[in-house]
Amino acid sequence: MPSKYTMLNASRGPHYLERRDVYHPLAALDVADMQGLIMQIGVDFALYGMQSALSIAAVAVLARREGPSRFMMGVILVLLVSSLLGVISNALFYLVQLPWELGTSVHDVMRLLVRLDIMGTVANNFNYLVSDAVVVWRAYILWSDSLVAKGILLSFLTGTLGSTLAQLVYLYMPSSPLVDYHIAIQSDVKLAFLLATNVVATVLIGIKFWYYRRDIKGALGLFTRKSQVEKVLVLLLESGITYCAIWIAYTIIWTDAERLNISYYTSDTFGSAIHNIAGIYPTFVVLVAMQSNTTQELLGTQVSQAMRFADLPMMSIASEPESQEASAMRDPSLHLEQTNDQSSYTSTEDSRPDTAENSDHGALGDARKSNEKDNGIALTSIFGRRAAVRLMGEMGPAMSAMNFSPTADEFAGPRSLAIVIGLESGHALVPPEMTDEHRKTIITSQLRVIDTLSVMAQTILQCKFAAEYVPRAVQKWRDSAGVLCPAVMVLNEIKWSPTFVRFLFLEKNHDLLAMQLRRTLEAVDEIDKMDEEDHARVMNFLATLILIHDRKGISNADANALGPKLFHWSMTRYSPDIEKNPAERCLVLLTKPAAMAISYIPEMRKTFMEGIETCTGSTCRKTEAVGGGPLLCCPKCKSAMYCSSEHMQAHASSHKYFCFDVDYL
């Protein structure tokens, strides 16, 4: 990229700045030049205004954080200052050439132009380098365990740095016949390295995202909700692709401007714009990532991090506001009453006693209270009575054949699940002689109803079930003979519950992985005939056990025998939709191929164990107590872990919604 000084002289002729015309009327060329200058300076200041707004917002977010966030805040501020220098130097470079504004000599103006050009060129290239360094740094962190990937990234970044310095040296060398030739060569080399660095970093981020979707998310069963890790990876990938596209467009315009019949001012305006974009890009990514992390802490998307919600009343239990019944669910001041097979709505807001218990207002408070009832979450609470009756009607044939007709209020909830599994006896609607196949049909319908709840409501339900029924459910699983008994169907749905994971950690449960693996081997013909939903349950539950126990207790013979079958299922059940091919994720966890063993299995386990082996505080991830020693445990649920009593007290206001008495840990 030649300097603006060189390009301007070339566009106006060799003696343009040597003319000292006192006054002449503006010609058409002068008007066009003025329009180009106004456009370029205007774009510069507009984009700098955007960068300033984003920088202020990012600094405000980062200032509340410690550690590496302070370094990123410094990078953003340095980029902002560098962009300011670039904008000012670019504007002054053209303004000082207006003869009716200045009375200095041509020599003085030329010296000032050179200095402004140097300042602007250095500022521009500094932005390019810092922006590329941020991109490489993010990809470097994602590939911290791969020497090849890190070597490639550092090589391209070093090439960018070297070509940029070489161009700056040649750009301001004393004039010689070879200088212009070397400037052109160095400009092309620098553009190539800038573009290649961004493309390589973006491709590596894309590969990491693909690996995550294939080997981590699928193995953990996160099919219907997007995790925080996935959100960050998508953000990095999409922003990287957009930035690369801008650089490709700039490279085409800069190298082929004459052939494309693009004026100097248009191409230079684009050059100024990409300088500002280079400052906006990392600032925007940092801001969105930080805001996304804050939102995750407030709302949450993974059950394993459910105890980190900070602004709980914002959640809604209803899934779709399709009817008046659903509206009542969204508005906690409306209560559904049933009279003579009709639905009516009355306000209960004034009739609620003003007690500390009822201070948990909003849909979340209602969900928590309904979970404390014997019948769990009522179907009418989710859909309204009419919609619940329609849903029950859709299940009619199978349920009629079983002589099973529960009321809507008894259909979904922790106790209802326990009744159908057989953990609660004496219920007239579920006789002891009911077969497992009939029970599984009902559980499938129950799980579909529960899946319509918000993540918050599902998390409360799972925590309550885990606290009350996990030991009996696991024993029911042991006593069964099938690979997918009713108890396994429900345990698979609560596998993210910290209480369930801690129970599996107990020494008496270390044989469960080997037991389920043998049952999987014995039931290969049955699994072959399963539909996609049940097949996914079997594979994901097995993957969870392998992840928790890390293959402990598995014989090599069993693992080698199941491996080919898992591979067969991964091929025959293949689908680009990750939730329809969990056998491949199970295969990765079980066989630990060399390409994945070092990198992804530890990362899977780390993701899975957040909040279980680390402090549950909203931003704390310490693995030991302050001052050393094991983490402190919540005395009630015995699942939430903290590095200090201060963190435990600070987290109590949100943790109480998920905290239930546990007496078996």
Residue 120 sits in a domain whose CATH number is 1.20.1070
Q: Would you say residue 302 has pLDDT above 50?
A: no
pLDDT of residue 432: 80
pLDDT of residue 106: 52
pLDDT of residue 30: 64
pLDDT of residue 604: 64
pLDDT of residue 477: 93
> Does residue 73 sit within a domain?
yes
- Residue 345: φ, ψ to 5°: -120, 135
Q: What is the 3-state secondary structure (H, E, C) of 289-337?
A: HHHHHHHHHHCCCCHHHHHHCCCHHHCCCCCCCCCHHHHHHHCCCEEEE
pLDDT of residue 319: 33
Q: Would you say residue 347 has pLDDT above 60?
A: no
Region 392-419: mean pLDDT is 54
> Does residue 421 sit within a domain?
no
Q: Would you say residue 624 has pLDDT above 70?
A: yes
Domain termination residue (choose one: 268, 298, 328): 298
Ranked by mean pLDDT, which of 372-386, 470-484, 643-657 comes out on top? Answer: 470-484
Region 251-276: mean pLDDT is 72
Q: Would you say residue 68 has pLDDT above 90?
A: no
Indicate the pLDDT class of residue 229, thresholds 50, 70 and 90.
low
Q: What is the pLDDT of residues 627-664, one digit of tens each?
A: 888 888 888 988 888 888 888 888 888 888 888 999 88
Question: Which of 62-76, 80-94, 501-515, 546-560 has the lowest average pLDDT?
Answer: 62-76
Q: Would you say residue 330 has pLDDT above 90?
A: no
pLDDT of residue 521: 92
Q: What is the pLDDT of residues 129-165, one digit of tens each?
A: 888 888 888 888 878 778 888 899 999 999 888 888 8
Q: Report whether 589 contacts 547 (CB < 8 A).
A: yes
pLDDT of residue 472: 94
- Amino acid code (one letter) for 140: Y
Q: Would you say residue 220 has pLDDT above 70?
A: no
pLDDT of residue 311: 29
> Does residue 384 sit within a domain?
no
Closest Cα partner for 581 from 590, 594, 591, 568? 568
Domain termination residue (choose one: 261, 277, 298): 298
Quote the CA–CA distance of 384 and 362 in Å, as a whole number.
Answer: 18
Q: What percent of the chain has pLDDT over 70?
A: 62
CB atoms within 10 A of CB 573: 18
> Does residue 96 sit within a domain?
yes
Indicate the pLDDT class of residue 607, thresholds 50, 70 and 90.
low
> Does residue 470 sit within a domain?
no
- Amino acid code (one letter) for 655: H
> Does residue 596 sit within a domain?
yes
The two structure tokens encoding residue 43: 């774009």
Indicate the pLDDT class of residue 221, thresholds 50, 70 and 90.
very low
Region 252-256: mean pLDDT is 74
pTM: 0.48
Region 75-86: mean pLDDT is 88
Look at phi and psi of residue 323 and say left if phi exceeds 0, alpha if psi is from -120 to 50, else beta: beta
Contacts of 298 (CB under 8 A, 6+ apart): 309, 310, 311, 314
Instruction: Look at the chain and report how many structural domains it folds into.
Output: 2
> Does residue 434 sit within a domain?
no
**Domain, as residue range, for 283:** 4-15+27-298
> Does residue 259 sit within a domain?
yes
Contacts of 481 (CB under 8 A, 6+ apart): 519
Q: Would you say residue 263 has pLDDT above 60?
A: yes
Helix (H, G, I), strand (E, B), or coil: what is residue 358?
helix
As a whole number, the mean pLDDT across the chain is: 70
Torsion sign over Cα 368, 370, 371, 377:
negative
Domain termination residue (choose one: 250, 270, 298): 298
Region 302-311: mean pLDDT is 32
